[in-house]
Chain A
Amino acid sequence: MIRSALTTSLPILFGFVPLGIAFGLLFQELNYPWYFASLMGIIVYAGAAQFMAIGLLAAGVGLVEIAMSTFLLNSRHMFYGIAFLESFGNWNLRKLYMIFGLTDETYALMTSIDVPKGFNQKQYFFFITLFAQSYWVLGCTIGALSSEILSFNTDGMEFAATALFVVLLIEQWMMVKRLLPFIIGLIASFIALMFFIDHMLLVAIIISICSILLFRLVNKTHYE
Chain B
Amino acid sequence: MNEIDYLLATMIVMAISTYFTRIIPFLLFVPGKDNTKLNFIAKSTPPMVMTILVIYMLKGVDYLSTEIFYTLFALAVTVGLQVLKRNALLSIVSGTFVYMFFVQM
* Chain A residues proximal to chain B, CB less than 8 Å: 10-11, 14-15, 32, 36, 39-40, 43-46, 49-50, 53, 56-57, 60, 63, 66-68, 70-71, 74-83, 85-86, 88, 95, 99-100, 102, 104, 107-108, 111-112, 153, 155-157, 159-173, 176, 181-182, 184-186, 188-190, 192-193, 197, 200-201, 204-205, 208-209, 212-213, 216, 223-224
Contacts of B91 in A (CB 8 A): 163, 166-167
Closest approach, in angstroms, between the C-beta of A151 and any C-beta of chain B? 15
Is the Cβ of B78 less than 8 Å from the Cβ of A166? Answer: yes
Q: How many angstroms from the CA of A188 to the CA of B92 in the assembled complex?
A: 26
Closest approach, in angstroms, between the C-beta of A101 and any C-beta of chain B? 8
Is the Cβ of A102 less than 8 Å from the Cβ of B22? Answer: yes
Query: B63-105 CB contact bits vs A (8 Å, 1 = yes)?
Result: 0000000010011001100110000110111011001111110
Q: How many angstroms from the CA of A67 to the CA of B37 in the assembled complex?
A: 32
Contacts of B13 in A (CB 8 A): 63, 66-67, 70
Is the Cβ of A82 less than 8 Å from the Cβ of B21? Answer: no
B contacts with A: majority SS: helix
* Range for the number of chain B residues in contact with chain A: 35 or more
A contacts with B: majority SS: helix
Is the Cβ of B25 less than 8 Å from the Cβ of A81? Answer: yes
User: Closest residue of chain A to B9, judged by CB?
Assistant: A63
Q: How many angstroms from the CA of A10 to the CA of B51 in the assembled complex?
A: 21
Is the Cβ of A201 less than 8 Å from the Cβ of B52? Answer: yes
Closest approach, in angstroms, between the C-beta of A160 and any C-beta of chain B? 4
Q: How many angstroms from the CA of A13 to the CA of B83 in the assembled complex?
A: 21
User: Closest residue of chain B to A83, judged by CB?
Assistant: B42
Using A63-B10, A85-B25, A205-B49 as known contacts, list a sample of 19 further A-B pairs with CB atoms less than 8 Å apart, ordered by residue number in A.
A14-B89, A14-B96, A32-B3, A44-B15, A53-B14, A63-B13, A81-B26, A83-B45, A85-B30, A99-B23, A153-B104, A157-B100, A163-B99, A170-B79, A170-B82, A181-B47, A186-B55, A189-B55, A190-B55
Is the Cβ of A85 less than 8 Å from the Cβ of B26? Answer: yes
Q: How many angstroms from the CA of A214 to the CA of B44 in the assembled complex?
A: 13
